[in-house]
Amino acid sequence: MKKYICLVLISSFSFLLPTLLFAQASIKGKITSDGNPLQLANISLKKAKKATTSDTDGFYTLKNIALGEYEISASYTGYKSETRKITLTDSTEIIVDFNLKENNTLDEVVVTGTLKPVSRLESPVPVEVYKPAFFKKNPTANIFEALQNVNGVRPQLNCNVCNTGDIHINGLEGPYTLVLIDGMPIVSGLSTVYGLSGIPNSLLERIEIVKGPASSLYGSEAVGGLINIITKNPKNAPLFSADAFTTDWGEMNIDLGFKGNVSKTASVLTGVNYFNYSNPIDNNNDNFTDVTLQDRISVFQKWNFNRKSNKLLSMAGRFFYEDRWGGEMQWEKKYRGGSEVYGESIYTKRWELLGAYELPVKEKMLFSFSYTDHDQNSVYGNMPYLAKQRIGFGQLTLDKKINTHDLLFGTALRYQYYNDNTPATVKEDVNWIPSLFVQDEITLHENHKVLLGARYDYNKNHGSIFTPRLAYKCKINDNNILRFNTGTGFRIVNLFTEEHAALTGSRDVIVLEELKPERSYNANLNYLKKIYTNNGNFIGLETSAWYTHFTNSIIPDYDTNPNQIIYKNLDGYAVTKGISTNIDMVFQNGLKVIVGATYMDVSKTENGIKTRQMLTEKFTGTWAISYRINKLFLDVDYTGNLYGPMRLPVLGSLDPRKEYSPTWSIQNIQFTFNKFKNIEIYAGVKNLLNWTPNKGNPFIIARANDPFDKNVEYDSNGNVQQNTNPNDPKYNPYALTFDPGYVYGPNQGIRSFFGLRYTLK
């Protein structure tokens, strides 16, 4: 009997042994955040070297896994990664769900530095990330204004009358900054001046900022840095959202968002933004509007299509229209373009289309495209500026890993059409710019990575342009990271689309030569440190030092002749250098502190003479201090910025306005009540110090009483003559002409605001 039992056991074991040895299991689950599914979340099984992504409903499946012990991890852009240990003992399918939390530290997934998703801590290129929660601390009507609380980034107003502006990064003028939407060069040329205010906050998922040249990946306009505005994924957006606020100046802003599904085929997100300000105010008593009146609407829609392969297919479009004017208080539409009453009236109409399609091939290949159509109808007093711009862009990238090499190959084609009514554009300008680029991120060691990159562009007007880059990342340990980046950049100047001062008519525009492309050489050193205290507090410290050398630099010359703006390639060089520090602190008691400071030196050297760049501060500071009072269901946000003195464009030795601005600060406070489900009520005060640039100056706009220069007298050399007789209609004691370009900060003083947010998930 015993022998029989043994025989049965042996035969059974011999039958089961292959089954046990070759048994395989599967894992499935769902990736969510606060109950909402996360599409295209990354799930990986490290030991088995298996990975997948979640579908449109957040579900994933991993099949054919050998029995054993594993670590399974889930990650998603902007959320904390999560890892779990699991043991597979038989072929039963097991379920592992993940509920990811929003990331409050520095380990977000970013795409801007290397054109591929990577943990911010693993990226060899330093990337700063800002989410909607950051910008809600000081609510604004558009992203242009929202960036004022980002360290090293300054929205710069360029005109006291029409309030157009651009974005400075580390002291460099707006044309050196490339603004992307979902990685596409949507904001360039005309829209760097006229389109920035039309980007609503409602479409924002996050903003990624790279400071320093990124021309090897993004081309001409990314010399000073880039801002990538990443829009919401329809799958992760709430079903409905509304955010509306008003101020006691009469401003009104409304943001609406809707999400819907088209059967199982696609999901769609629609965003609508409307802003209106129609209350002329003249607090500085110069008979000119302190703030430009605006009426604008922006409609945005994004589609994400569900494919069986889980590969990406998305398309988005936006329409933007704005009617803005500023000028003499008695101006009406009937005076538009005439010489009776001065006004600057700007009509902007703009269409945008962008999309991304991941090719149905084994390799990871992505085709991205965008197209913009911009129609500008403007008058500056009696000077019309009528312009049309069309930009088409297509890019194909191949992402491939070979052993320790993470390669990216790409080709791009850019189409540019531009035409206007200025003397600078004799005929329409049409240009096709093909590009090739390659990038290799090499893992030398677990803690050491090197990134090599190069880009080749061909421009019919300037020939071949080559821009290399090098980056190195040293991970000293999990809490200390050192990065070094260096490379070259180039910029092709589009004078009348970038320089608002060239259009106002207040100065003659002199172009002395055919402008050559600017070239730059940059080095950047970045150190990131994370500190976790025993009581659960977190401190993040990031410091960057940079040096950029420019040749062929094109800097508008306001100094040689106060009645002219002279443009030419610099016979010398320009330099920007400095150091910047950000401190991010999160305490368990509900206190959050973000503090930034930047010191910089931006100058040009010509004929051995070093001159500080106009309208560039030496130091800036920003802060956002937040505290949650749980018992009262109240959040308190205190935000602000501090700017050091800037050299300003005065009109000669007799001009009584200050040659340098004072140190100035804009400070704000906000209270948010969030007791009710899905509803936030917020109120506060902007510009607590009631600071405006006219303080300490006799006037801001030169000769506001004679905006058409009808009573200005000139000598035989074309210089303005001084007239000190107050009884003479041609009284001109300071020998000035009309000029609204003396501006370095907003003219809007203290004001209160009240708003309401509603979110239905």
Per residue in 260-271, pLDDT tens? 988 888 999 999
Altogether, the residues listed in the chain come to a count of: 761
pLDDT tens sequence across 50-76: 888 888 778 999 888 888 888 898 887
Residue 751: per-residue pLDDT? 97
pLDDT tens sequence across 549-577: 988 877 767 667 766 677 777 788 889 99
pLDDT tens sequence across 512-543: 777 777 888 889 999 999 998 877 788 999 99
55-69, 180-194, 662-676: least confidently modelled range: 180-194
Residues facing 56 on adjacent strands: none
Residue 20: per-residue pLDDT? 45
3-class state of residue 222 by DSSP: coil
Find tokens 């689309």 and name the residue: 497
Residues facing 577 on adjacent strands: 547, 601
Dihedrals φ, ψ of 194, to 5°?
-110, -10
9-13, 112-116, 422-426, 602-606: least confidently modelled range: 9-13
Mean pLDDT of 285-311: 93
Residue 109: per-residue pLDDT? 67
pLDDT tens sequence across 422-464: 766 778 888 899 999 999 999 999 899 999 999 998 988 778 8
Give residues with Cβ within 8 angstroms of 530, minimum separation 6: 105, 106, 478, 479, 480, 538, 539, 540, 541
Dihedrals φ, ψ of 129, to 5°?
-120, 130
Residue 215: per-residue pLDDT? 63
3-class state of residue 22 by DSSP: helix
Residue 406: per-residue pLDDT? 93
Give, rounded to a whole angstrom, the gap between the first and last alpha carbons of the chain: 69
* Rounded alpha-carbon distances, angstroms, from residue 216 to 183, 213, 313, 404, 409: 14, 8, 26, 22, 12
* Rounded alpha-carbon distances, angstroms, from residue 76 to 61, 73, 125, 223, 481: 16, 10, 19, 30, 22
- Kind plus residue range of the DSSP H or E element containing 193: helix 191-194
pLDDT tens sequence across 24-48: 888 999 998 766 677 778 898 877 7
Does the pLDDT of residue 88 top 90, yes or no? no
Residue 231: per-residue pLDDT? 87
- HSE of 143 in the Cβ direction (CA atoms, 13 Å)? 28
Residue 424: per-residue pLDDT? 65
Give residues with Cβ within 8 angstroms of 174, minimum separation 6: 156, 165, 166, 167, 168, 192, 193, 498
Mean pLDDT of 597-623: 92
Q: Which residue type occupies 443?
A: T
pTM comes to: 0.82
Instruction: Indicate the class that CATH gives domain 23-99.
Output: mainly beta
Residue 195: per-residue pLDDT? 63
Does the pLDDT of residue 162 top 80, yes or no? yes
Does the pLDDT of residue 282 top 70, yes or no? yes
* % of the chain with per-residue pLDDT over 90: 48
Q: Give the integer Cα–Cα distance in Å for 385 and 500.
A: 11
Residue 10: per-residue pLDDT? 47
DSSP characters over 338-374 = -SSS-EEEEEEEEEEEEEEEE-SSSSEEEEEEEEEEE
CATH topology of domain 230-760: Maltoporin; Chain A (2.40.170)
pLDDT tens sequence across 362-394: 899 999 999 999 998 999 999 898 989 999 999
Domain extents in the chain:
23-99, 230-760
CB atoms within 10 A of CB 608: 6
- Kind plus residue range of the DSSP H or E element containing 496: helix 495-498
Q: Which residue type occupies 426?
A: V
